[in-house]
Each structure stands twice: as C-alpha cells, then as structure tokens.
Structure 1
Amino acid sequence: MEASPRVWFVTGASRGLGRAFTEAALAAGDRVVGAARDVTPLDDLVAAHPDRLVALTLDVTDRAAVFDVVGQAVDRFGRLDVVVNNAGVLFSGMVEEFTEAEARAQMEVNFFGALWVSQAVLPHLRAAGGGHVLQISSIGALGGFASTGLYSASKFALEGMSEAFAAEAAAFGVKVTIVQPGGYWTDLYTSSRATSQNPVYDPLRAELEKMWAEGSVDSEPRLAAEAVMKLVASDEPPSRLLLGSMVYDVAFDISRRRMETWAAWEETSRAAEKAVPAPQA
C-alpha cells in the first residue's frame, strides 16, 4: 500500500535551507505549510503547487502568532507529520561588543522561536500519536567560536531544550532530531547583523577573516535537503545528525579534546565529590 503524503510545517521556509526543505518535500509528493516573516519568495512554488503548499506569514518570536499559525496549518491539511524548526538569524560580534538588545534579539529567534513552535505543535502530534520534529541547529552548537559567541549560545540553548523535549515527547510516539549543518550557500551570512566593532579586536578579526577565507567549505542547500529526506524516511531516526564532512570532523575533534581535558583533570574532578550525611538544620 502506498504511503499517504506527509504534511510538513517549515519555519524560515522562504529562503536558504528552509526553501530547500520545502522544495524537497514537494518533489516527494508531500504537502507543506511554509512559514516565514516574508512569504513572497514562495509565490512561485505556491503557483506550481496550489493544492500542496500553503504559505503563512509568521514571526516566530510572537508566541501567540505561532500557536495561531500552527492551528491554521492543522486546519488546512488535517494534521502535521514533520515539523522543521529552521527559522534563524546570525548576529556576529565579540561577546563584549553585544548590546542587551542585540543579545536578546539573537535568542528571541533562534531559541525562543523554536521553543514556541515546539510547544505549539506537540499537542497536535500527541493527538495524532506520532510525528517528527527537526530542530535545525548549527556547527555553532559544537563549541563557542570567536565572533559568533551569542549565535552559539542560542544554538546551545536550543539543543539543551531539544534534548529534554525529545525525552518528554517520546512518551507520545513523537520523535525529535537535532540537525547540525555545516556551511551552505544561503543568505544567513549575507543577511547577518553585526555589532559595533571595538578596535581592540581588529587583529583577531583579521586573523579570523584569513582563516575563514582559507578553510571555509560551503555546499548547495539541496544536499542538506536530500539528507533530511532520508532522515524523515527512517523508522528509527537518530537523535542527532551532522550535515557535512567539515562539521563531522569538527564534532569529533572537539569531542576528543574535551575528553582529553576531562581525563587530565580526572583526579581533581573525582576528589570534588564525597557522599556525606545531610547537614543538620
């Protein structure tokens, strides 16, 4: 028996990876609700797939709007099967340079936006007895890197929340996968926002620019979409998926260095714990 088309809910669907995921789902015969602040770039896809693609305007930082739009998505297609938390922004700058407003804006989209979507979709997935939530994280969640510290912080927060969310959602048959992409030719970098620069960091900035020029590896978003299609087709999807050779190697390198550091300080770590009776009031 042929499987029925899946229903996707994709945030940040109008550009970059979000658009690639939307196109791949449509090519597979699935139905998609594509959400974004500006959905006009999806006009061509809506025209080509009027019965299978609905574009809804959404600012994921608005919790009430998220719940409303998720409700509209379910009303339109009757259910949700795959939810892709893809909306994201990048603020670049040294940690010292961030204003409070800039730091909060970074967290509002990348962390709180994904949190609101996760909260909004779970009751519908629970009622259906299953579904798959993809949390689009980043190589930035593997470690903190100079000039992208707040971006990494937002993705670290996303992953911590998502691990707990996965454990909670599993009780209802809902699967959660954290997807960590490397570099892709999207407008994440070209549309990024930068802090006001403190000249004391000029030498470090020059060093970083040289390193990125020599070592940057970026791929077509289509390749990420192909991997995601394999992911959602799996009966036993992983809790985490790395996308790209570069991010794969970085993940293992960072993990090895952390383990080496922990091992070197094992004696101190173990000496810091000893069971004692509860203190008397």
Structure 2
Amino acid sequence: MTADPSSRGGAVVTGAGRGLGRQIAALLVERGHHVLVTDIDGAAARASAEELGPRASALALDVRDHAQVVAARDAVVERAGRLDVWVNNAGVLITGPAWEQDEATRRLMLEVNALGTINGTVAAIGAMRATGGHVVNIVSLAGLSAVPGEAVYAASKHAAIGFSLSTIADLRAAGVKDVDISCICPDGIWTPMLHDKLHDPGSALSFSGRLLMPEEVVEAVRRVLDAPRLVTAVPAWRGVVARVGDALPRFSLAAMPLVVAQGRRTQRKLRDRGGPRG
C-alpha cells in the first residue's frame, strides 16, 4: 500500500544516481517522502531525480565531506519540514590483496564506505533527535565475515556495522527512543558495481552465492522501514553462514578456497551468457 504523501517528511539517499540507490529512492518516493537523490556524479543524480518526478530533487554530494553532508540534510529539512529517513548507500569496491593496493585506493574505500556512513548517520541524527527518524545503512555480508580478495572493503564494512550498533546503543543510553538505525547486509547484487567485476578473480567471493536482484534488497529496506531491525542479512541463510564463519575463523579459512572456486565458476558462466538467470 502506498503511504499518504501528506504524512511523510523528507528522505536522503546517497549513491542514488544509478543501481540500487536509485531504486531505494524510488521506494521512498512511492512511500510519500520528498527524496533528495545524492551522488558524487551530479549529472547522474539529476537524471535519477527527473525520472522519479516532482517529489524528488538532486544534489551532487561527496559523502567524505562532512560539511557537504550537513548541507544535504539542511536542504531536505528546509524543503520537507523534517527528515524522516536517511539511507547511506554510497559505496566503493576495489578488489585485491591489501598489500597490492596503494594508499589512495585503501583510503578511498575506507572513507566512502565507513566515514561516509558515519558522516551521514551523524548528520541525520542531528535532525532526527527532535522529530524521530530512521537511518538505514546499506552494508554488506562483507561486514560480517572474512572476504578474501576484498580485505580493505571488508574492513570498511565491518567498521560500518560496528559504528551503527555502537551508535544505536549510545542513542538508547541517552534516552533517544525514536531514532532507529538498521543495517542491511546483502550478498552480491547484480548492479553496475558487480557488472564491472566479471573478469576480476579477486571479487570471486561476491559471486559465490545466488546473485541478488536489486529489487530483493529494496524489499529488505521496505521491511525494515516498517519494522526496524538492527542487522538484516539478504538472503538470511548467507547471513547465518557468515556469522558461523566469523565465530569459527579457522574452519572458515579452511573452507574459503572451495567457496572462492564456486564464485569463479559463476563468473565464467555469467561472462558466457551475459548476466544472471531471471
């Protein structure tokens, strides 16, 4: 059921110029929010906002810059009256062993994926403490376990999870009951981020399960907006596997070559046929 637009305030989605972020922005428009579509690519953000209609506007945003993030928050509050939802979706994935990545590459992933999530969450809380609201952080299964070939990426996602859970604990300790934080931890999603990794053996683990369609992750976002949940793995069974692997690291590392091999077989199949099955 589509929400009554008059009952909704503003929402912000980062990294919404294409892919999953754009679809999350569409969900929030459908639910009656005025949505600020942000992306480091301003042209992509504007194109997405135009497609989404009059309840969407656009802003070029580098989530690593706290001042820019605060300005985005203030812009949506000025337009919509309050901030109801902030979705930290912007992310960067560059694969390879950490020792083969230069400092700039490592810093980029840590700053976009971890610092960007921190900046967005802190800015959102600044507006939401007075009116209530919900921060949704799009993380990854890489935030729950070891990911060979994606060590720095995994570190950034572990940081996002740790920050989110610690911050909600701080909010509750401060007596703030009507601001929620939910983390969505999806397996590999068939978006442009993975389209570009079909020939990359370092990203094999992202292909080791059933590739998700963006709509499946959007549905998970819909569910947590209706019923906040601290951590949601998509699919749930992969979250269980990741948690077991995290609890039993020796077992996980021993099994990892088999999982990586499965991912590389999937990459080859996808290259051959040009995409995942239905």
Q: What's the TM-score, normalizing by structure 1?
A: 0.78
Structure 2 residue runs of 5 or longer lacking an equivalent are 253-278
Distance 1:100-1:46 versus aligned 2 partners, 3 A rule: closer
1:71-82 equivalences under 5 Å are 71-82=74-85
1:159-198 equivalences under 5 Å are 159-170=161-172, 171-172=175-176, 173-190=178-195
AA in 2 matched with 1:69? A
Show the counterpart of 1:37. 40
AA in 2 matched with 1:155? K
User: How far is 1:189 from its partner?
Assistant: 2.8
The more displaced of 246-255 and 149-158 is 246-255
AA in 1 matched with 2:229? P
AA in 1 matched with 2:170? E
User: How far is 1:42 from its partner?
Assistant: 4.4
Structure 1 residue runs of 5 or longer lacking an equivalent are 198-204, 262-281
Show the counterpart of 1:137. 139
Once residues 256 and 49 of structure 1 are traced to their aligned partners in structure 2, the CA distance between those partners, rounded to angstroms, is 43
1:20-169 equivalences under 5 Å are 20-43=23-46, 45-128=48-131, 130-169=132-171
AA in 2 matched with 1:257? L
User: How far is 1:122 from its partner?
Assistant: 1.1
Q: Does the 8 A contact of 1:217 with 1:246 survive in 2?
A: no
Overall identity of the aligned pairs, in %: 31
* Cα distance per residue 1:74-128 (max 9 Å; x no partner): 1111111111111100121112212222211111100111111112111110121
* Cα distance per residue 1:158-208 (max 9 Å; x no partner): 11111111112233221111111112111123457x9xx9xxxxxxx58x7
Task: Choose the corresponding residue for 1:231, options 224, 234, 255.
Answer: 224
* Cα distance per residue 1:1-29 (max 9 Å; x no partner): 96712422111111222111111122233
User: How far is 1:143 from its partner?
Assistant: 1.4
Matched position secondary structure for 1:218: coil
Once residues 256 and 110 of structure 1 are traced to their aligned partners in structure 2, the CA distance between those partners, rounded to angstroms, is 24
Once residues 28 and 72 of structure 1 are traced to their aligned partners in structure 2, the CA distance between those partners, rounded to angstroms, is 20
State the superposition RMSD in angstroms. Answer: 2.8
Q: Does the 8 A contact of 2:185 with 2:232 survive in 1?
A: yes
Q: Does the 8 A contact of 1:143 with 1:254 survive in 2?
A: yes
Question: Rg bigger for which structure?
Answer: 1
Q: What's the TM-score, normalizing by structure 2?
A: 0.79
Q: Does the 8 A contact of 2:145 with 2:246 survive in 1?
A: no
Matched position secondary structure for 2:184: strand
Higher relative contact order (CA 8 A, sep 6+): 1
Q: Does the 8 A contact of 2:146 with 2:246 survive in 1?
A: no
AA in 2 matched with 1:52? R
